[in-house]
Amino acid sequence: MQIPSQTDQQGVPTRSPSLAGQENTYMPSDPIYKSLVRLVMMAFLVMLPLLLLTPSPAFGYADPGSGAFLYQAVYAAFLGGAFYLRKLLNRIWRKRK
């Protein structure tokens, strides 16, 4: 359902109120909205590495089984990736009947 546009006294289109009676401030096609989204994304991309690189005290405990678990996870990821790669290559290079 398209809401009819309204114009002011000079004939310039104005934003029409939404169905709920509230005025739409930002529309996804507005250049202001796009620049605001771009600014937020850039701020996030700058802040994320800074937050990840900031040292913080770790009050954790690593028991002896943690190393074995990490070793098992890496080994399983390697074998799973190898299996996936083998299936992918077989699908690409199999003989057509």
Convert the pLDDT of each residue in 34-46 to its tens digit: 888 889 999 999 9
Q: Which domain holds residue 91?
A: 64-97
**From 28-32, 42-46, 88-92, the region with the lowest mean pLDDT:** 28-32
Residues 6+ apart with CB under 8 A from 3: 16, 17, 18, 19
Q: Could you tell me if 68 and 93 lie in one domain? A: yes
Same domain, 72 and 94: yes
Rounded to 5 degrees, what angle do the CA atoms 17, 19, 20 make?
A: 95
- The label of the residue with tokens 């002896």 reads 64
Q: In angstroms, how far is CA 84 from the centroid of its own chain?
A: 25
Please provide residue 14's backbone torsions phi and psi, each rounded to the nearest 5 degrees. -110, 165
| 75 assigned to some structural domain | yes
46 and 70 co-located in one domain: no
Q: For the full predicted model, state whether its pTM sits above 0.75.
A: no
For position 83, what pLDDT does the model report?
A: 95
What confidence category does residue 61 fall into, taking pLDDT thresholds of 50, 70 and 90? confident
